[in-house]
Structure 1
Amino acid sequence: MPSAAAEPLTPERILETTEEVLRRFGPTKATVVDVARALGVSHGSVYRHFPSKAALREAVTDRWLAKSVVRLEEIASAPAEPAPSKLEAWLEALFEAKRHKAGDDPELFATYTVLLAESSGVVDHHLSELIGQLTRIIAQGVADGTLAAQDVPAAARAVFDATGRFHDPQYAADWLSPTITAEFEAVTSLIVRGLRA
């Protein structure tokens, strides 16, 4: 079995290792030297791919956020799905993705909550991408007459804001409540009924 240093040093490998180092040491103690040590390379080798600790942390945060976007994009792009059903499925998938991230790996979720606060540009891009998907879903519904909205981008933003309790990490503790699923379904149903043409 080849040593870690014998494997090619790629940005993806660095990001995977950084995630492990963050999980082990937390965001305040993890350093680029820790990442390099775990990879079996010099910290200069890591800096050749990521010019600063901030750039590395932003890339890890972006990678983490991007994982949930793939499934959401599949839902937003499904051609045959009616917009109201698509909207419900999209909101449910977003909630489930965030809830799983918080529940499956609470240490890493706590780390990313810290990193999100540092990476405003990455977070802004992620939020724009999510609201863009919602905008497309609502626009489809307006076009086919199943949803009504005079200002589609404003409606998309309102839906995103109205469901914040189910996807904003600051509410992660609420996601453990035994009634959270019923509460989510009630809010989603109200939103979809309100948007129906």
Structure 2
Amino acid sequence: MPRRVLVLASTSPYRRALLERLGIPFHTAAPAVDEGARPGEPPQVLVLRLAEAKARAVAGQYPDALIIGSDQVACLDGEILGKPGTRARAIAQLERASGRTLLFQTGLCLLNTKTDVAQTLVEPVGVHMRRLTRAQIDGYLDREQPFDCAGSFKSESLGIALFERIECDDPNALIGLPLIRLTRLLEAAGITPLGA
């Protein structure tokens, strides 16, 4: 029986690198989705909606496939931080987060385009930040320039040095794709990363 086509509905190099860890062949497709939050939309609802919207945005190109959509937000005191985009915003985010806890919500969708069934979930990650000096923040930003990353850090590299601890069931969720939960969804759909 031929293997189902697997598609990652994302142009994120971080998500692509995570999915490559499973050793399963996949395609990538760029979803055209407005990622703005709706008025009063809670973070968990936002990431679920966007993860599914991204998967559905490319579904027409793949009539018999499994499509992975994912979205993530970082929150501090219930407020979505977003990607900083600039050094000044990254400094402000890291200064505000210093000594506090960020909550990352990562939405995941696995859409079966043959049956039009979408399975969705949210994987939370609590990140307890160290107390950071401005010199530490500047030094970190000089080295990694994480301006396209929610929370203004890359946990998969030097950003880990900014943390006191992480609370989660899947550390990959912090990078943008909860592989443990995704593996279970894929296995239920007939794709087994470990073989038999």
Larger radius of gyration: 1
Q: TM-score range by the shorter chain?
A: under 0.3
More helix by share: 1
When normalised by structure 2's length, the TM-score is 0.27
More strand by share: 2
